[in-house]
Amino acid sequence: MIPITEEFSSDEGLTRAEVRAKKRRRMMRRRRTTTIVIICILVFGIGGFFGVRAAGGVFDDLFGPKGDYEGQGTNEVSIEIAPGSSARTVANQLVEAGVIMNSEPFLDEVERRDATIQAGTWTMREKMSSKAAVEALIHPIAPPKITVAEGKQVEEIKSIMIESGMNTDEVDKAIDDKTPQDYGLDIDAPSLEGYLYPATYELNKQKTAEDVVQEMVDKTETELDELGIESKDANRILTLASLVEKESPGDPEVRSKVARSFLNRISDKSQTGGLLQSDATVAYIHGARSDLTTTKKERQSDSPYNTYKKKGLPPGPINSPSKGAVEAALNPADGDWQFFVATNPDTGETKFADNYEDHKKNVEIYRKWLREHRKDNG
- Summarised one tens digit per residue, pLDDT across range 186-217 is 999 999 999 999 999 988 777 899 999 999 99
Euclidean distance between CA atoms 284 and 282, whole angstroms:
5
Average pLDDT for residues 130-156, to the nearest whole number? 91
| Of 55-59, 145-149, 171-175, minimum mean pLDDT range | 55-59
Task: Answer yes or no: is pLDDT of 347 > 60.
Answer: yes
| Of 32-41, 246-255, 311-320, minimum mean pLDDT range | 32-41
Beta bridge partners, 80, equal: 121
- What is the model's pTM? 0.70
- Summarised one tens digit per residue, pLDDT across range 220-265 is 999 999 999 999 999 999 999 999 999 987 899 999 999 999 999 9
Q: Residue 42: its pLDDT value, please?
A: 55
Residue 353 CA: distances (Å) to CA of 118, 125, 275, 311, 340: 64, 60, 16, 21, 6
| Cα-only R_g, the chain | 35
Average pLDDT for residues 290-301, to the nearest whole number? 78
- Summarised one tens digit per residue, pLDDT across range 5-23 is 333 344 455 566 555 654 5
User: Which domains does the chain show, CATH number per domain?
Assistant: 75-138 (3.30.1490.480), 154-337 (no CATH)
Q: Nearest 5 degrees, angle CA 320-CA 322-CA 325?
A: 110
- Cβ neighbours for 375, distance < 8 A, ≥ 6 positions apart: none
Average pLDDT for residues 285-291, to the nearest whole number? 69
Is 237 within 8 Å of 270 (Cβ atoms)?
A: no
Q: In the 3-class helix/strand/coil scheme, how is the chain assigned residue by residue?
A: CCCCCHHHHCCCCCCHHHHHHHHHHHHHHHHHHHHHHHHHHHHHCCCHHHHHHHHHHHHHHHHCCCCCCCCCCCCEEEEEECCCCCHHHHHHHHHHCCCCCCHHHHHHHHHHHCCCCCCEEEEEECCCCHHHHHHHHHCCCCCCEEECCCCCCHHHHHHHHHHCCCCHHHHHHHHCCCCHHHHCCCCCCCCCCCCCCCCEEECCCCCCHHHHHHHHHHHHHHHHHHCCCCHHHHHHHHHHHHHHHHHCCCCHHHHHHHHHHHHHHCCCCCCCCCCCCCHHHHHHHHCCCCCCCCCCCHHHCCCCCCCCCCCCCCCCCCCCCCHHHHHHHHCCCCCCCCEEEEEECCCCEEEEECCHHHHHHHHHHHHHHHHHHHHHCC
- Summarised one tens digit per residue, pLDDT across range 76-92 is 888 999 999 999 999 99
- Cβ neighbours for 156, distance < 8 A, ≥ 6 positions apart: none
- Strand 145-147 versus strand 200-202 pairing type: antiparallel
Euclidean distance between CA atoms 249 and 22, whole angstroms:
87
